[in-house]
Every structure is written in C-alpha cells, then in structure tokens.
Amino acid sequence: MSLLETFALAVVVLAGLYLLALGGASLLAPTRASRFLLGFASSAPVHFTELFLRFVAGAALVLHAPRMALSGAFNLFGWVLLVTTACLLLIPWRWHHRFAQRAVPLFTRYIALLGLVSLAMGGLILAAVALGRAA
C-alpha cells in the first residue's frame, strides 16, 4: 500500500472515530455537543479549517472507497463532501456563519437523534473499512 493510500485509510478511520465521538458526546453531554456544533463557521479561520478537514475527508473517502465495503456509496459520499466543500469555498464565510447560526439550533433540538445517526455513520464507516480489508 502506498503512502497516499495509507494516509487515506488513516483519515477515513479518523472520520469514523470522530463521528463515534460526536455521537457519544451528543448522547452523554448534549449541551457541550450543541456548543461544539454552534462553533462551526464562527470565524474565518474556523471556516477554512472546517473546509480543509471536509476536503481531506472527502478526498480520503474517494481514494479509499474502492477498498471498502459499500464502495459505491462511500465514493458518492466522498464526492458529495468535495462538491459541497467547493461550494462553501465560493461563498463568504460570513454567509456560512449566518446559515450555521440558523440551521444548527434546528438540528440540536434533536441532539439525541443526531447522536444516534452519528454513532451509526461512524460505525458504518469503520465496519466498511474492516470488511473491505477482510475481502
């Protein structure tokens, strides 16, 4: 496996672990999780850091998807991350901030559901990596 493939694998695993941690925090410490989510796009540096991380995760999914179970779905998900990141890069960060300030409170009303979905997605990513490597 090349260095790039190893890096992509590591990023995909970290993305799965991040979703598991977000899911756990959403269920065990919902106020803290809500505060964390409200921090997205709170400043230009945070906005661009988020976009960089989304880009890296999307690219890693596209690169590693062929070696994962459900490869088509994860390839598509990676491309969705890449395209939406490109769109967010084209708009001023203040627009992203305004959108986040309106949208995040709507989603955090259902923080337990968000936590369950995050746990499921994180588990699915890690399972797809493990099953893909086993095949």
Residues 75-132 pLDDT 10s: 999 999 999 999 999 999 889 889 888 988 898 999 999 999 999 999 999 999 999 9
- Burial status of residue 128 (CB atoms within 10 A of its CB: 0-12, 13-18, 19 or more): buried
Indicate if the pLDDT at residue 134 is higher than 90. Answer: no
Q: Report d(CA 108, CA 30) in Å as an integer.
A: 8
The tens digit of pLDDT for each residue in 6-64 reads 999 999 999 999 999 999 999 999 999 999 988 877 888 988 999 999 999 999 999 99
pTM score over 0.85: yes
Give residue for tokens 């999780």: 33
d(CA 111, CA 104): 10
Would you place residue 135 in the very low, low, confident or very high pLDDT band (cuts 50, 70, 90)? low
User: What pLDDT score was predicted for residue 55?
Assistant: 98
